[in-house]
Structure 1
Amino acid sequence: MKKIFGLIWIMVWCFCSCSQNTGKESEVEDNRDVYLMSYFKGNGDGLHLAYSRDGLQWEALFNDSVVLKPQIGKDKLMRDPSIVQDDEGTFHMVWTTGWWDQGIGYASSKDLKNWSEQRNIPVMETFKGTRNTWAPEVFYNVKDKVFYIFWASTIPGAFPELPTSESEKGLNHRQYYVTTKDFKTFSETKLFFDPGFSVIDGAILQKDDTYYLFVKNENSAPAEKNIRVTSNDRPFNFPTTVSDPITGDYWAEGPAPLVVGDYVYVYFDMYTSRKYGAVRSLDMKNWDDVSDSVSFPQGIRHGTMFAVSEDIFEGLTP
């Protein structure tokens, strides 16, 4: 009889323990981060948002409608929206305002729905003859509480001219940057990255104590149009020696890195194929192409990926 009661007690204890563990797992599951993507459509219609819980299947929010319409710039465009959240909870966004502007757009939000007044940051106006200011990216370095904003511009004659195709219109990009702590005052614009080739679409990912810079090799003659990476122990002064292409035998631009579990994903716009792709890595050295495993809303263009809390995500859904 004692043995029977002992077995019953063990079974009850196991059941309760399992139930408690399941409850804890569910609580963690409910509080996990949700991944968001900022993007634009067409020629730059405005800010769109999509979400994912696994980094593979992405679904549009707000029925894929525009969350914020562009109001500034010569062409009044909103291309390449880059969003980062600071440690006080505010989201900061920069974007390309036009094809041939010398400044970039900026706005902020607490909930990704209601945005501040849009402002122009004249980052290249002191560089006479600057052709363009494309694909600005904002990175927040928590260690020093500084925002790094970097973008691609062509200053005629600033660098040795390389052969270009007719479609490139003689553009020869390098990456430039400013820093700020409050988006009111900015450092002097300086050269950010010159790998010796035309380079656009920079994006930084911090993993542990290492900063990774992903860029697009924009050379067109011969055509490269691929994503490469370099790394450093700080988010500037990156080594100009870059990796071999981490993307495949197709044209890719707009790298958007994101940590999902043990993997680092890099999403990109396969713009000639009119679709989105992705590669992922466990060691930041070997990259697997998972483009056939990802899905996105139709017609999306270059943006960024970032994680938000469940509270923020719930505020974006009915």
Structure 2
Amino acid sequence: MSAPSRIPAMPSRRLFLGAATATTMALATDLTLGVRSAHAADSAYVMGYFTESPNGLGTDYGLHLAVSTDSLNWTPLNQNNPVVTPTAGAGGLRDPFIMRKRDGTFVVLATDLKGTDWGYNSQYIHVWDSPDLRTFTNYRRPRLHDMVTHSWAPEAFWDASRNQYAILYSSVNSSGHNVLMVNHTSDFTTVSAPQVFFNPGYDVIDGDMAVGVNGVNYLYFKSSRTGGLVGARSTSLNPGSFTPFSTSVAHGGTEAPTLVKSLTSNTWYLWGDTYTPNGVFYAWRADDLASGTWTPVDQRLYTHPVNAKHCTIAPITGPEYSNLLARWGAPAWNRLKSYNYPARYVRHADYTARIDTYPFDPYTDSQWKLVPGLADASGVSFQSVSHPDRHLRHYDFALRLDVNDGTGAFAQEATFHRVAGLADASWSSFRSHNQPTRHIRHSGYALRIDPISTATDRADATFSVGH
């Protein structure tokens, strides 16, 4: 067989210095094949994403990061700002992907596209190397093909039979519709000639792989036939060997499947990103990946970063988790999610407090700094991020956003005591400081302080404090 043709990468445009730690390098000897190449030492997760909001106020086409200890509830890093942004091509990215390489370091891939100009047909992808996701080096743009079409949602996996990495992406070939293509590489710089990896005969995009799970390889993708996420499987990694087998899952129009294996149980999670409505993640779970059936995860159990789109999730070690928080920092603000309406978050609108369905703009109307209580430092006051001179206070029992006038009355009305959630002790409820028989609750989606007596009242008065 003749050697595959080689397509050179664009030269590096951006460089940050960094080196793999001894701990990270040692992990390279403990790699096991599987989704995102988990290590025995892994105990947390990192998410990569870009951001879009309904009116564009929270839109940014750089690489954003968040961390989690359970893969369900996420802490955005760097105040939900990008940690690195492409400097060539379209000058922005979509669909980032993070993978730990065989040497224990990371590689980051992304679509070369800024915004939604779907006619921008880049044959290149963005690539960075990183020892620790705190620095990013050797930025380059490998060219994957010479067709007049795109290279969307690149991902990668280790193909042991070829002793190379495989780059999987969506593109339109001679079939006239999107298929999943593959190139092989040893360094994410020089790549082999492209091949069709998966073509079921209709439009498919956003391939995500779980490799070597009990001897089977799984491919999830967005299907144009179902509008949702469908799985295929094969006992090899050969192009053309995958056969669809699973039921389709969707919540509205759903794309960008991300498979995540729990680090503490046999549970698998499948994340999907909706485009109707814009920018909402939903999660499903399965205890057996081979079953091809998925159960929706209760929205109370997970919270994704605000405005996040098309995520990638990779396992990391405990020290890597701590080092990412130390390098980039946790947000200085929180969001509050309703217990019995978990698609809704506390926000202010026209200076009144309410719970509204995510996503919305201005998204900063749902961000709060929980500061020491103005009347009692053991309590809490809610300072608005978008209007920092204003705090939530009750007035005639209704909650509204007012300017702190410095009076004792305002301080009393703007102070609350955080207690165990009245409907779920793992959540939170907030008791009024100067009306101690009343708690914050929603009624008709508006926030107020009321006495709490029924199960419905308790659910209305319970919130999660997250990001």
Q: Normalized against structure 2, the TM-score is what?
A: 0.54
1:276-305 deviation line (CA, Å, top 9, x unaligned): 011111112221011523211111000211
Q: Does 1:86 align with 2:101?
A: yes
Mark the CA change 1:141 to 1:244 in structure 2 (over 3 Å): closer, same or farther: closer
State the Cα distance separating 1:87 from its structure 2 match.
2.6
What is the match of residue 311 of structure 2? 303
Secondary structure of the residue aligned to 1:196 is coil
What is the match of residue 187 of structure 2? 182
Output the CA distance in 2 between the equivalents of 1:44 and 1:201: 20
Query: 2:44, 2:71 within 8 Å by CA — same for their partners in 1?
Result: no
- For 1:192, the aligned partner's letter is F
User: Residues 11-26 of structure 1 correspond to what in structure 2 (within 5 A)?
Assistant: none
Query: 1:257, 1:267 within 8 Å by CA — same for their partners in 2?
Result: yes
- For 1:209, the aligned partner's letter is G
1:78-132 deviation line (CA, Å, top 9, x unaligned): 111111001311101111012421111111100102111321111122x3xx221
**Which of structures 1 and 2 has the bigger CA Rg?**
2
Q: Does 1:39 align with 2:49?
A: yes
Work out which of the residue numbers 274, 279, 295 in structure 1 matches 2:284: 279
What is the match of residue 290 of structure 1? 297
Secondary structure of the residue aligned to 1:111 is coil
Q: Does 1:108 align with 2:167?
A: no
Output the CA distance in 1 between the equivalents of 2:104 and 2:242: 33
Output the CA distance in 1 between the equivalents of 2:162 and 2:149: 32
What is the match of residue 49 of structure 1? 65
What is the match of residue 191 of structure 1? 196
Secondary structure of the residue aligned to 1:312 is helix
State the Cα distance separating 1:249 from its structure 2 match.
4.7
Mark the CA change 1:238 to 1:37 in structure 2 (over 3 Å): closer, same or farther: farther
Mark the CA change 1:44 to 1:120 in structure 2 (over 3 Å): closer, same or farther: farther
Q: Does 1:122 align with 2:143?
A: yes
Query: 1:93, 1:138 within 8 Å by CA — same for their partners in 2?
Result: no
Output the CA distance in 2 between the equivalents of 1:280 and 1:246: 13
Secondary structure of the residue aligned to 2:123 is coil
Mark the CA change 1:291 to 1:143 in structure 2 (over 3 Å): closer, same or farther: farther
1:39-84 deviation line (CA, Å, top 9, x unaligned): 11136521111122122212212221111111121x2111111110
Mark the CA change 1:90 to 1:144 in structure 2 (over 3 Å): closer, same or farther: farther
- For 2:96, the aligned partner's letter is P
State the Cα distance separating 1:183 from its structure 2 match.
2.3
Output the CA distance in 2 between the equivalents of 1:192 and 1:72: 28
Mark the CA change 1:44 to 1:232 in structure 2 (over 3 Å): closer, same or farther: farther
Query: 1:277, 1:291 within 8 Å by CA — same for their partners in 2?
Result: no
State the Cα distance separating 1:184 from its structure 2 match.
3.4
Q: Does 1:135 align with 2:135?
A: no
What is the match of residue 250 of structure 1? 252
What is the match of residue 313 of structure 1? 321
Work out which of the residue numbers 215, 220, 228 in structure 2 matches 1:214: 220
Query: 1:82, 1:137 within 8 Å by CA — same for their partners in 2?
Result: yes
Output the CA distance in 2 between the equivalents of 1:280 and 1:303: 17
Root mean square deviation of aligned Cα: 1.9
What is the match of residue 362 of structure 2? none
1:176-198 deviation line (CA, Å, top 9, x unaligned): 11111122332111111101110
More strand by share: 2
- For 1:36, the aligned partner's letter is V
Secondary structure of the residue aligned to 1:47 is strand
Aligned length, in residue pairs: 267
- In structure 1, stretches of 5+ residues that fail to align are 1-30, 162-171
Query: 2:50, 2:94 within 8 Å by CA — same for their partners in 1?
Result: yes
Secondary structure of the residue aligned to 1:311 is helix
- For 1:300, the aligned partner's letter is A
Secondary structure of the residue aligned to 1:71 is coil
Output the CA distance in 2 between the equivalents of 1:148 and 1:116: 21
Query: 2:171, 2:180 within 8 Å by CA — same for their partners in 1?
Result: yes
Output the CA distance in 2 between the equivalents of 1:313 and 1:59: 11
State the Cα distance separating 1:272 from its structure 2 match.
1.5
- In structure 2, stretches of 5+ residues that fail to align are 1-40, 53-58, 114-119, 327-467
What is the match of residue 64 of structure 1? 80
Output the CA distance in 1 between the equivalents of 2:297 and 2:164: 33
Output the CA distance in 2 between the equivalents of 1:143 and 1:89: 20
